[in-house]
Amino acid sequence: MGTSARRYYGAVEAGGTKFVCAVGDETGRLLVEDRFATSDPVPTIATMIATLHRLAGGFGPLTAIGLGSFGPLELRREAPCYGHILETPKPGWSGTDIAGALAREFRVPIGFDTDVNGAALAEHRWGSSQNIEDLVYLTIGTGIGGGAIVGGRLVHGLMHPEVGHLYPRKHPRDADFAGVCPFHGDCLEGLASGPAIIARCGRSFEALPPEHLQWEIEADYLAQLCASLVLTLSPRRIVLGGGVMNQTRLMPMIRARLQHWLGGYLRREELLGEIDAFVVPPRLGAHAGILGALALALHAL
């Protein structure tokens, strides 16, 4: 094989609602992509493998595969359950060996991490946060998740960040809502995810008019999440993605409420006059997730 031979990488974004599979290259270009709805683990994993084979068929063997998954995940390579999805609110999926299934089938290096750690890596490599060594990527959709890069490296410790399960203070107009998280009730995911909006308002966020009170409550909760991140991970940028953020009224309200919750304590221009560059949308937009998986494939080598 000459040095000019092109290499192809597989990418899988494993979400609670849908799976996206793709083949891409090391420049962050997606050459082909397909998606399907998430069902039970066995048929979903079979479809994932068949889809990757089909997509790769047009190009050649895959050099590596990146898998960004909903979590929580076992990411410690020395652990017996490395590659598994752990106890998860997603019914039926706890204990699924998702990375192992790919490794056994394709026998190439598998880059495995949370979907949001992958998306953080993609925004860092190709998107909104190039040259920013400390950032958090949040997705607000079926669930609420956050990936984090500190000092240029993905955060892995005992586990990985699970910021969707922080508890915000209840909004005064939301005192009676118990939340929908099966583990915590009214944690952030329980109060501000897509399913939480349906439970509170009786309809999906896509159907809510921009002037609905829901958006003020939503912005307040997401701003509390951003404030907690500023005070712990100390990012230089927070990237807010996911379907719920398609409501464009949210972004400026979140920035204003973040300043409210910080209470003038951290007098950094980045958090004051320059806050529009501190809390930003993903530059990779809806592709942050699948490009995250591609970035994980490159990271695996």
**Binding region for a copy of itself (CB under 8 A):** 72, 86-87, 133-134, 148, 150-151, 153, 155-163, 165-167, 169, 183-184, 224, 227-236, 261, 263-268, 270-271
Q: Are strands 144-150 and 135-140 parallel, antiparallel or unpaired?
A: antiparallel
Q: Are strands 237-241 and 135-140 parallel, antiparallel or unpaired?
A: parallel
- In this complex, which beta carbon is closest to a copy of itself, that of residue 176 or of residue 211? 176
- In this complex, which beta carbon is closest to a copy of itself, that of residue 230 or of residue 290? 230
Beta-strand (E) ranges in 70-187?
Answer: 110-114, 135-140, 144-150, 153-154
Q: Residues near 196 by Cβ (< 8 Å), separated by ≥ 6?
A: 177, 179, 180, 189, 190
d(CA 58, CA 22): 12
Q: Residues near 206 by Cβ (< 8 Å), separated by ≥ 6?
A: 243, 246
- In this complex, which beta carbon is closest to a copy of itself, that of residue 235 or of residue 292? 235
How far apart are CB 292 and a copy of itself at their closest, in Å?
18
Tokens of 301: 């080598």
- In this complex, which beta carbon is closest to a copy of itself, that of residue 49 or of residue 132? 132
- In this complex, which beta carbon is closest to a copy of itself, that of residue 124 or of residue 160? 160
- In this complex, which beta carbon is closest to a copy of itself, that of residue 95 or of residue 285? 95
Give the H or E element holding residue 99: helix 98-106
Tokens of 229: 């991140």
How far apart are CB 63 and a copy of itself at their closest, in Å?
26
How far apart are CB 94 and a copy of itself at their closest, in Å?
9
Q: Classify residue 71 by its DSSP letter.
A: S
How far apart are CB 177 and a copy of itself at their closest, in Å?
15
How far apart are CB 128 and a copy of itself at their closest, in Å?
16
How far apart are CB 270 and a copy of itself at their closest, in Å?
6
Residue with tokens 């998702």: 98
